[in-house]
A and B are shown apart, each in its own frame.
Chain A
Amino acid sequence: AQTVTQSQPEMSVQEAETVTLSCTYDTSESDYYLFWYKQPPSRQMILVIRQEAYKQQNATENRFSVNFQKAAKSFSLKISDSQLGDAAMYFCAYRSSVGGAQKLVFGQGTRLTINP
């Protein structure tokens, strides 16, 4: 079974600075999808960014980018120019590409605090 590990329960960063959240995963599959979801105090789960394992290019979405290292099974999230609205729990998630196995497997989350 696949597992996802987020080793940083909490992180903090100064507003306008850059922060990187870590995520590692374990799988025997060669094709899969990885996601970062954000959960602000409202508790809504919001998709931040996604990465297809077959793509070598790292995904980017505005101030959010990932560092995908397939061999190392690492998928970190970099937030540039941090804003107060970025404060939230961040969850890394894995999804198999095998048919019928579309469930998301989540890490335990990293709570990000933005200091003004």
Chain B
Amino acid sequence: DSGVTQTPKHLITATGQRVTLRCSPRSGDLSVYWYQQSLDQGLQFLIHYYNGEERAKGNILERFSAQQFPDLHSELNLSSLELGDSALYFCASSDLLTLTDTQYFGPGTRLTVL
């Protein structure tokens, strides 16, 4: 158990809908990262938040947005869903104050868009 929690584990929805994925980082970690794992694109970085502020953006679609709240949990919002958005979405957390700054991953949320 990495200490990172993600809810829900599975999500099945229809095209055009909007969903919210939730992540709670390890205790003490200020950084949250979101990654998407799909069959055709592999593991891709989406976005990084540190202590409530956006730090970096990767290949994140405009239909997707994220935020990190004062209690450090983060949410990834996916809207106007398309079939191609079906993927495993991972959240990872790290402690930038340590030299190692290793990212520990949550169990992921599997999104299926029908």
A: which residues have CB within 8 A of B?
33, 35, 37, 42-47, 50, 91, 95, 100-109
Contacts and interface: CB of A to CB of B under 8 A. Distances in A.
A100 B54 CA distance: 10
B105 A44 contact: yes
Given A45-B105, A47-B103, A102-B94, 10 more contacts: A42-B107, A43-B110, A44-B2, A45-B90, A46-B2, A47-B102, A95-B101, A102-B96, A104-B43, A109-B42
B48 interface: yes
A37 to B, nearest CB: 8
18 contacts: A35-B102, A43-B108, A43-B110, A45-B92, A46-B105, A47-B102, A47-B103, A50-B102, A102-B33, A102-B48, A102-B96, A103-B33, A103-B48, A103-B56, A104-B33, A104-B35, A104-B92, A106-B43
A104 B45 contact: yes
A83 B4 CA distance: 27
B58 interface: yes
B100 interface: yes
Interface of B: 2, 31, 33, 35, 42-43, 45, 48, 55-56, 58, 88, 90, 92, 94, 96, 100-105, 107-108, 110
Nearest to B35: A104
Given A43-B107, A44-B107, A44-B108, A105 B45 contact: yes
Nearest to A35: B102
Contacts of A102: 31, 33, 48, 55-56, 94, 96, 101, 103
Contact of B43 (A46, A47, A91, A100): A91
Given A43-B88, A47-B102, A108-B42, A103 B108 contact: no
Nearest to A33: B101
Contact of B42 (A42, A43, A50, A106): A106
Nearest to A108: B42
Contacts of B104: 47
A12 to B, nearest CB: 21
Contacts of A103: 33, 45, 48, 56, 58
Nearest to B46: A103
